Structure 1
Amino acid sequence: MNDIFNEVFGKTDTSKLTPIEIALGIDNEGRTTATKLYDFLELNPSNYSKWYRKNILENEFAEENVDYFPFVLKYESLTGEKERQDAKLTASFAKKLSMMQKNQKGEAARNYFVGVENGTKKLIEKLPCPLNPQIASSVAELGRVTERIMYKQGSPAYKIAEAFKMECEQFGIQLPADFVKVPEYIQLQLSDFMKG
């Protein structure tokens, strides 16, 4: 089994490749060839030249020596040596071309990427909402202003902490339950008040 794998993928380290990159034959440089992509898409071998010209050379969204790097492939046929246009394709460009194909392989590629996107959305929904740095900065500044005003008015520290906690909660920031520490003498006075 390893011999077949190495024959297909060479000595490519597939541990960092996605399933679609493995299927497209992406190498260690992050590229595949137009020929490998065409084979993956299971297209008619007699239409390769037309497909190559239309999807690579005449593709208005692709740039030579950025998305693809053309070369000539020489090979032996029954009638002698022949040449075939080929190109190294970046992984991104190969993925785009695979999604454009209107056959079962193209549909499989589109379904793969839709599945990845849906999985990412589900993962993000499970993560705690990261705090926008601008919001964090604004909340911190609001807390400093509140502290200065309340301190000048003689408010005790625990009241300032309560105000800051309330401001944070308005922005969806949850501070620990023990963030506000009410002094014991205040707690005693409140409990005495509740008894009477």
Structure 2
Amino acid sequence: MSSFLAFLGISVLVIVAPGPDTAITIRNTLMGGRTGGILTAAGIAAGQTIWALATSAGIVALLLASEPIFLAVKYAGAVYLVYLGALALRTAIRPASAAAPSAGPSRRATRLGPASAFRQGIVSDLGNPKMTVFFASLLPQFVPAGAATFTGLLSLGLIFAAMTFVWLAFYAVAIARIGDLLRRPGVRRAVEGVTGAVLIGLGIRIAAERH
């Protein structure tokens, strides 16, 4: 029980720490409303579920052992974050390019489709090399003694993914509640600009980090 509680404590610290998942959830909530934010959170949780399965099956260990493959995943994830950040910056600088001039605030706020929101969440998480290291290094330490390794790792991974979804969904709902304020032209452009800069910065940092 103490080992499980320690796992929950560490998981909370990892989940609530701001990072790419938080930034993308905020951006997509502004772009697609509460539904867009929640589906982004669902995509991120789905990505973590895939990491959990890969860890349980030993695939992540092989990924870490193969530097070329690991670097390919890392750089692909970094490029994707930079791409999303560039889109956000473009919206901040040239808001008219993201929507027709006649479209009102509500039309612009919902231009992100549900499928796109989910896809951005899952791709962002799968391209985050920190998830690779996290699942490979942390989960095995908390598998109960005597438990089957595959089942134990998968169970912990699913719990982590569920906790992540709950936290990010809460984020999305909270942001959606103040969406009218955040979607005011001046405020929206500022938020898009900051979010874009953060995503680009995170992408560059991920690309520059050594594992």
TM range (shorter): under 0.3
Which structure features the higher share of strand residues? 1
User: TM-score w.r.t. structure 2 length?
Assistant: 0.24
Which structure features the higher share of helix residues? 2
Greater Rg by CA: 1
